[in-house]
A and B are shown apart, each in its own frame.
Chain A
Amino acid sequence: MKKLSVHELIAETRSKLQLKQINPEAGDDGSVTSSVVNIPGLELTGFWTDFPRHKLQVFSKKEMQYIATLSPAAMENLFRKMFAFKIPAAIFVETPEIQPIIIELANEAGVPLLQTDINIMQFLQDMGNYLYKRFAPTTIIHGGLVDVHGVGILLTGKSGIGKSEIALDIVERGHRLVADDVVDIRRTARNVLIGKPEELLQDTIEVRGLGIVNIRKIFGARAVRVQKRVEMMIELLRWEPDVHYERFGLTEDHISILGVSIPHIRLPINPGKNISVIVETIAMTYLLKLYGEDPAKEMQEKLLKELKEKSVNLNGDTIEEDPE
């Protein structure tokens, strides 16, 4: 299970959530393991069944107004109970003063208390987005990721087939490199995959016979991207005479990465073939399909129409429609 420390949470959301820890003495290495937050409601009234203890507990102005109506003993009882669950942290959003007893009990139990002055609705939205992405499922793919005419293409294939050399050629033609050899992929929404390089490998390609090359230094900032949505996968294969490759383009193969299905094109390569031009063409065909144009389908329809007309002329009457 993924873990996130309170320290990391504060650092990574600084620009948006502006969280501050009001009791540094409680420590900040507690771990968040859930991608959603909880706003305690019935718990405040004493109903603790199925309390989501692993979630960050958020208090807005409303909850604090209710808590202020409690007697000192009831308030102490409430927070003693909540902190005994070892919650990862309590966050006070846009609330006025926090009662000293709460801070005292949190220090005793070692629960970090965080505070921010941003609007509660904004907070919930930004925090939700952040946690969703932070806890998104990830995987590593051995291959390259390039942005060709705005389409994020994963280049995969066996070691030594020439993925990096093709990525280099694609960059030379004015496109952008995201990652070479190791692509970190994260599912940031139900059907969205985002690919990134490993930090150590940012901007680099390994070319056999040459070694490590820094793309940004050679081609400039326009040649790289820090991340890109992964829209399709092109698998480079050594040409084998008796293997069947797609010839028409009517059927589309798909591959599932982290449960997201993307087009999967198997591209045979052989000497003298300009792979970069083919990759560019694949990208543009993909864009055309997004706009509703499909050359293979259009040709098939045109052909079927012509065949139908011809058979009418020959027989002098119409033939039965193919049930297909």
Chain B
Amino acid sequence: MISKEVTILNKQGLHARPATALVNTASTFKSDIFISRDEKKVNGKSILGLLVLAAEHGARLTIEADGPDEEDAVAALAALVTDHFGMGKHS
């Protein structure tokens, strides 16, 4: 199991579209993926779960993966968050 902490850079936070992008990426991996904020930990492949985190601009999240492709999963998800979920730097 490996984990990495990331910060939400999108101005509007982790709303429906970035959450969809995150779930889609997470679902391409075999590993179990969890995203947590403080004590709240949800399944990274569940869109409703991610929405529950209500992660605003600047929120710190921990990405956790456990399984055969855990390293690739954490790297890909962290890159996605850093890349503003592919929505452009000003989103």
Q: Indicate whether B80 reaches chain A with its CB closer than 8 angstroms.
A: no
**Cα separation A200 to B49 with both chains bound (whole Å):** 10
In the complex, A267 has a CB within 8 A of chain B: no
Q: A147 at the A/B interface (Cβ < 8 Å)?
A: no
Q: Which residues of A contact B40 (CB under 8 A)?
A: 140
Residues of B within 8 A of A182 (CB): 42, 46, 48-49, 52
Residues from chain B with a CB closer than 8 A to the CB of A160 are 27, 45
Closest CB of chain B to A71's CB: distance in Å? 49
Cα–Cα distance between A198 and B42 once the two chains are bound (Å)? 12
Chain A's closest residue to B34 (CB) is A142
A contact residues, total (Cβ < 8 Å): 13
Q: Does B43 contact A (CB under 8 A)?
A: yes
> A35: shortest Cβ distance to chain B, in Å?
17
A109 within 8 A of B: no
How many residues of chain B have a CB within 8 Å of chain A? 13
Q: Is there a chain A Cβ closer than 8 Å to B60's Cβ? A: no
Asked if A206 lies at the interface with its beta carbon under 8 angstroms from chain B, I say: yes
Asked if A140 and B41 sit within 8 Å, CB to CB, the answer is: yes
Q: CA separation between A200 and B41, bound complex, in Å?
A: 16
A164 closest partner in B (C-beta): B48
Interface-central residue, B40, B48, B51, by most chain A CB under 10 Å = B48
Contact yes or no, A200 B43, CB < 8 A: no
For B47, the chain A residues whose CB sits under 8 A away are: 181, 206
Given A140-B40, A140-B41, A160-B27: A198 touches B52 (CB 8 Å cut-off): yes
Q: Which residues of the partner chain A approach B45 to less than 8 Å between Cβ atoms?
A: 159-160
User: Do B42 and A140 have beta carbons less than 8 Å apart?
Assistant: yes
Which residues on the A side are within 8 Å of B27 (C-beta)? 159-160
Chain B residues within 8 Å of A140, by CB:
40-42
In the complex, what residue of chain A is closest to B39 when comparing beta carbons? A138
CB proximity of A54 to chain B, nearest CB, Å: 20
Q: Is A180 an interface residue (CB 8 A)?
A: yes
Contact check, A181 vs B54: say whether CB atoms are below 8 A apart: no
Top 7 A-B pairs ranked by shortest CB distance? A159-B45, A142-B43, A181-B48, A198-B52, A181-B46, A182-B49, A206-B48
Residues of A within 8 A of B (CB): 140, 142, 159-160, 180-182, 198, 200-201, 204, 206, 212
Contacts A181-B43, A206-B47 aside, 11 further interface pairs with beta carbons under 8 A come to: A140-B41, A159-B45, A160-B27, A160-B45, A181-B47, A182-B42, A182-B49, A182-B52, A201-B48, A201-B51, A201-B52
29 pairs, CB–CB < 8 Å, chain A vs chain B: A140-B40, A140-B41, A140-B42, A142-B42, A142-B43, A142-B46, A159-B45, A159-B46, A160-B45, A180-B48, A181-B43, A181-B46, A181-B47, A181-B49, A182-B42, A182-B48, A182-B49, A182-B52, A198-B52, A200-B51, A200-B52, A200-B54, A201-B48, A201-B51, A201-B52, A204-B48, A206-B46, A206-B47, A212-B48
